[in-house]
Structure 1
Amino acid sequence: MNLNSLSRRRWLQSAAAGTLAVAVGSTKNRSFAADGSPEVVPIGSRRELFVDDELIQSLNDVNLVLHRPRDEGQVLSFDEPWEGGFCGYATVIRDGDRLRLYYRGLGVAGQDGNRSETTCYAESTDGVTWTKPDLGLFEVKGTRQNNVVLSDAAPVTHNFSPMLDTRPGVRQEERYKALGGTVKSGLVAWVSADGTRWRRLQDAPVIPSDQVPFPHFFDSQNLAFWSAAEQQYVCFFRVFQDKIRRIARSVSDDFVHWSPPVVMGYRHRGDQAPIEHLYTNQTHPYFRAPHLYVSIAARFMPRRQVLTDDQARAIDVNPRYFKDTSDAILMTARPGRDYYNRTFLSSFVRPGIGARNWVSRTNYPALNVVQTGPTEMSVYLNQDYAQPTAHLRRYSMRLDGFASAQADYHGGELITKPLTFAGSRLAINFATSAAGDIRVEIQDASGQPIPGFTLAESREQIGNEIDRIVTWNSGPDVSPLAGRPVRLRFAMKDADLFAMQFTDAASSG
């Protein structure tokens, strides 16, 4: 039965009666237990985003849709004498009410890891207005009045990438950690108590070059974080395989001893995804759902030249840096897995209008998505690379708004895999039109509606909210079903469903 051929009334009547036909997805996208029954996914009280098919059993006239961030404009110019057109490899970290930004300072192209490279710092309280404090830590270009936090430390300043260590019990003097280095040095670890004064953790690299079995590696931003989901440190770094820029994963219990690297694969809705050059990976735990690793990676298209020589001269781009193009793509990964979900193959952030956006190594995303408003989060991109106008730009999204399950005006539905949850309320992040709505049915593991939670008893959810508690005629309490395998059936019309979460609170926050 095609939902597009039904009137809204007939669709709701048949859905409430449990007779609506559902197109079941192919078995290659589904997980099964040893006895052949569908595997039950324990989600507890985790927030789950609809960025992949991890929880989805079937879709009928509902699609997973990528939501591109909104360009909010330039927020920081790389215009100091120790900065310049080759600033890059940015990292943004939220530490309490302060946002910290780290990036390479470099005005003239040179060999990776040369002594001219520094690590610069800026900070913000809102993510919109950024300041460059005079730190007085290093003399660069004849002055100590600068925002440099690391200098004379080549080659780690080529790609110095800090993290805020959230491991329970971490020593105060090592609250901040960072990795940097090239194939010649290996990856070297640094630590800091305040994020501005850094010291080397040990003389030897923590990931020596002779432990990486690839022809070339480390020549990009290499990052690490503490994974609460895995209870260990995870590192993602650049390697080359078959002459293509790839991503390798390694893990550690102590940040010093790391496992042999494993090259990450790519999957697109159950199939192998195209292998493209990914210059930076920017993988990090999503701050509202740390079990979900989000990667806003720089896709590099070598020798895909857009500008003519005249156009390049007009924007004063370095003549070596307009023969390629790049943009940003979105991937996700789950803890412990050796592949990314490339649910969406299209770009996440397209190059903007104008020649400046179509040069080599521009549009490279900074590491980490951070919250910048009550309902907003932001990602930052380096733009105008190798040009006098080089700068950092902000792009905004709604919270959880990377992607959504979306139904059009004719309506559709999504059914989850069997899952178990903890909590007494179901909250959703959603948006509808004035004519649209979302209703939720809770089924048992076999797909039979549970009395009290059927679609007929579900109240319409209409509006645009980050955190709406779903209700039925009997109210919002779902605690009698906690710990029991159930399926969720979302009946949607002209609506987007971004995320869901079971919670004990009246609002999931």
Structure 2
Amino acid sequence: MSRFNLSTAILLLATVTSLPAAKPLKAPDGLFKDLNDSNATSVILLRETELFIDGRLISSMKGARRKLNQPVKHKQNPLLVADKPWEVGGPGYGTVHYDPKTKLFRMWYQTWKKKKGISEGNLCLATSRDGVKWTKPVINKDTGTNLVSPPDVPGFQCPGIIRDDNDPDPARRYKMLFSCAPNNKSSSWMSSAGFSPDGIHWTTVKPLKIIPFSDTQVCPLWDSRNRRYMAILRFGPPNVRLVARTESEDFLHWSPKVTVFRRTTRDAVQQTQFYQMAPMPYAGGFIGLIGAYHNESLKPITPDKPWTDRQDLQLAYSRDGVIWSRVGGSGTVSYSELMAKRDWGPRARASVFLPYGDMKRKDWDWGYVIPYFTPDPIVVGDRIHFYYAGTDAKHWWTWTGDPPKLDPNPKPPKKGVGLATLRVDGFVSVEAGPKGGSMTTRPILFLGDTLTVNAEAKGGSLTVEALDAEGKPIKNFGIESSVPLTSDSINHKLAWKGQADLHQLQGRPIRLRFHLKGAKLYSITPGTRHAHYIQSYDQ
């Protein structure tokens, strides 16, 4: 080392060692918290949107109630009807996808072939840019039709279709479960699977025998949390109108069916059976649309039992996709409660999610409605899209008179596909009238600095106070400091005067007490909006 470099190094070393030591800085009070298995026991960890369909989050309500809300039917219904020679008996069971990348809606719907013996369906495809105006593109150039090429097996029907972007094999991008009778005999009825690269050209799995027969639409889903497929289908054998479930890790080997819904005491009011259920993942759980078929009869509909031989849609809910609950007029109802002996009449009628149309008005869907399967929620703006098939006749429309007789030349009913929309998260609300009411949560814990609520408070108000786990008010987050919500929004941010955000509430067990006056609360969602960097040293 030269004399110059040595001198420079000594000078630099002396300079560095002579600098004063940097002083560590202290974080503001309440920013950092301890979180362990002792101070966070018996709390609900809020990780995503929390709905009020069940009572998991609710500790108590005073002057408030939970209420099932119904979607609004589109004014232009029916949006799609059978108007082609090959659409006999359609539109029947259907599946609707929406691709946010291409902004394209795709609808697969079943029609029927004119043939003797075992029934067999066609599969058609319609597309839309807005979910309202549908076109039937020419897919098969040889026939000039919108018919896709379904699995080539006798008795094909009742398909449910998913798009699976997790499968590395592009030939299996689209997956289907369906029912068939490969030997053209009733003894060979079964449910099977098919794959497709585009949703148009399908191949059938081999061997075909993978699931016992489901005499209604088979609806598969990918359960991302548990990394497996699940399917909702009909019970059996024997073929009975009950809802069952099965699951698979590879879409080929399916577990034995388990029954998730049987008829209860409440169902005896209208002699309700479950025709099918279309599931949909939503907000960390699952929504199910049940085809609730009432009082099967060949006789005419009477004024005292207007639900006879008609079908509406009821709601079901599950947090894990395995254990399901029925939803009534005020949220989920346990199986044991549904089996209790009581006057279920008003409660049974209040459990309708999507009603059939008005028979006196001769609505296009006055007879029965069937849920269309949407394997992913279709959300447009702040509304959820629900598609369904409807008809202007009762179920057994081929029978007339009393005593009923089979009509030798029955006039086929008109069928169509309709749309109903619901406010995002709007399945069940916590609400109070003009006199006001409150709802207090169980102890919850969230991470972040923001709590967003979906609430309708126009013409009323919603305020919130934060309590500790024991129910004592938290300083600076009392009712007197709460910034009132007085408008309608799916994205209200809870706020307290003098507080830039809610980081002081995060990472600790708290309760929230909502005070509602002429207001409705639909959901609550945790999040982080701000950067929480602070300097560690003063130099």
Q: What's the offset of the Cα at 1:241?
A: 8.8
What is residue 364 of structure 1 aligned with on the other side? 370
What is residue 48 of structure 1 aligned with on the other side? 50
* 1:504/1:76 CA distance change after superposition, 3 Å: same
What is residue 256 of structure 1 aligned with on the other side? 252
Matched, 1:235 2:242: no
Structure 2 residue identity aligned to 1:292: G
* 1:108/1:302 CA distance change after superposition, 3 Å: farther
What is residue 505 of structure 2 aligned with on the other side? 481
What is residue 379 of structure 1 aligned with on the other side? 386
* 1:157/1:441 CA distance change after superposition, 3 Å: farther
Q: What's the offset of the Cα at 1:182?
A: 4.6
* 1:253/1:293 CA distance change after superposition, 3 Å: same
2-structure distance, mates of 1:406, 1:253:
42
What is residue 292 of structure 1 aligned with on the other side? 285
Q: What's the offset of the Cα at 1:335?
A: 0.6
1-structure distance, mates of 2:319, 2:378:
21
**1:473-508 deviation digits (Å, cap 9, x = unpaired):** 1335223333322222111110111111011137xx
What is residue 160 of structure 1 aligned with on the other side? 159
**1:26-47 deviation digits (Å, cap 9, x = unpaired):** xxxxxxxxx9x98322221x11
What is residue 296 of structure 2 aligned with on the other side? 303
1-structure distance, mates of 2:124, 2:195:
16
Structure 2 residue identity aligned to 1:65: K
1-structure distance, mates of 2:210, 2:254:
7
2-structure distance, mates of 1:352, 1:502:
39
**Which of 428, 434, 438 lines up with 1:403 in the alignment?**
428
**Which of 75, 79, 98 lines up with 2:104 in the alignment?**
98
What is residue 326 of structure 1 aligned with on the other side? 311
2-structure distance, mates of 1:38, 1:305:
57
* 1:157/1:475 CA distance change after superposition, 3 Å: farther
What is residue 275 of structure 2 aligned with on the other side? 279
**Which of 342, 353, 356 lines up with 1:351 in the alignment?**
356
What is residue 429 of structure 1 aligned with on the other side? 454
What is residue 405 of structure 2 aligned with on the other side? none
For the Cα contact (< 8 Å) 2:260–2:323, is it kept in 1? yes
Task: Out of 468-477 and 60-69, give the one that drifted further.
Answer: 468-477
Structure 1 residue identity aligned to 2:274: L
Q: Secondary structure at the match of 1:57?
A: strand
Structure 2 residue identity aligned to 1:179: L
* 1:410/1:308 CA distance change after superposition, 3 Å: closer
What is residue 199 of structure 1 aligned with on the other side? 203
Task: Out of 194-203 and 50-59, give the one that drifted further.
Answer: 194-203
* 1:109/1:430 CA distance change after superposition, 3 Å: farther
Structure 1 residue identity aligned to 2:289: I
What is residue 26 of structure 1 aligned with on the other side? none
Higher Cα radius of gyration: 2
For the Cα contact (< 8 Å) 2:495–2:502, is it kept in 1? no
For the Cα contact (< 8 Å) 1:300–1:361, is it kept in 2? no
1-structure distance, mates of 2:308, 2:236:
20
Q: What's the offset of the Cα at 1:95?
A: 2.1
Q: Secondary structure at the match of 2:458?
A: strand
Structure 1 residue identity aligned to 2:119: N
Matched, 1:493 2:517: yes
* 1:110/1:413 CA distance change after superposition, 3 Å: farther
Task: Out of 326-335 and 299-308, give the one that drifted further.
Answer: 299-308
Q: What's the offset of the Cα at 1:450?
A: 1.8
**1:231-277 deviation digits (Å, cap 9, x = unpaired):** 22111110159985111112222212222221114799xxx864741
Structure 1 residue identity aligned to 2:358: I
What is residue 59 of structure 1 aligned with on the other side? 61
2-structure distance, mates of 1:156, 1:333:
32
For the Cα contact (< 8 Å) 1:267–1:340, is it kept in 2? no
2-structure distance, mates of 1:156, 1:188:
11
Structure 1 residue identity aligned to 2:390: Q
1-structure distance, mates of 2:116, 2:274:
22
Structure 2 residue identity aligned to 1:430: A
2-structure distance, mates of 1:399, 1:262:
31
What is residue 186 of structure 1 aligned with on the other side? 190
Gap runs ≥5 in structure 1:
1-34, 138-142, 210-216, 310-321
For the Cα contact (< 8 Å) 1:266–1:342, is it kept in 2? no
1-structure distance, mates of 2:262, 2:308:
27
Structure 1 residue identity aligned to 2:471: G
Q: Give the TM-score normalised by structure 1.
A: 0.78
For the Cα contact (< 8 Å) 1:453–1:472, is it kept in 2? yes
What is residue 70 of structure 1 aligned with on the other side? 72
2-structure distance, mates of 1:152, 1:172:
17
What is residue 471 of structure 1 aligned with on the other side? 495
For the Cα contact (< 8 Å) 1:52–1:341, is it kept in 2? no
What is residue 22 of structure 1 aligned with on the other side? none
1-structure distance, mates of 2:252, 2:178:
14
1-structure distance, mates of 2:300, 2:454:
42
What is residue 437 of structure 2 aligned with on the other side? 412
Q: Secondary structure at the match of 1:481?
A: coil
* 1:475/1:131 CA distance change after superposition, 3 Å: farther
Q: What's the offset of the Cα at 1:425?
A: 0.6
RMSD over aligned CA atoms reads 3.1
**1:340-374 deviation digits (Å, cap 9, x = unpaired):** 24243521121212366699973111112743531
Alignment of 1:4-83 (within 5 A): 39-44=42-47, 46-72=48-74, 73-83=77-87
Q: What's the offset of the Cα at 1:442?
A: 2.1
Q: What's the offset of the Cα at 1:83?
A: 1.0
Q: Give the TM-score normalised by structure 2.
A: 0.74
Q: Secondary structure at the match of 1:146?
A: coil
Matched, 1:124 2:124: no
For the Cα contact (< 8 Å) 1:329–1:347, is it kept in 2? yes
* 1:334/1:241 CA distance change after superposition, 3 Å: farther
Aligned residues: 436
Task: Out of 249-258 and 153-162, give the one that drifted further.
Answer: 153-162
2-structure distance, mates of 1:246, 1:110:
28
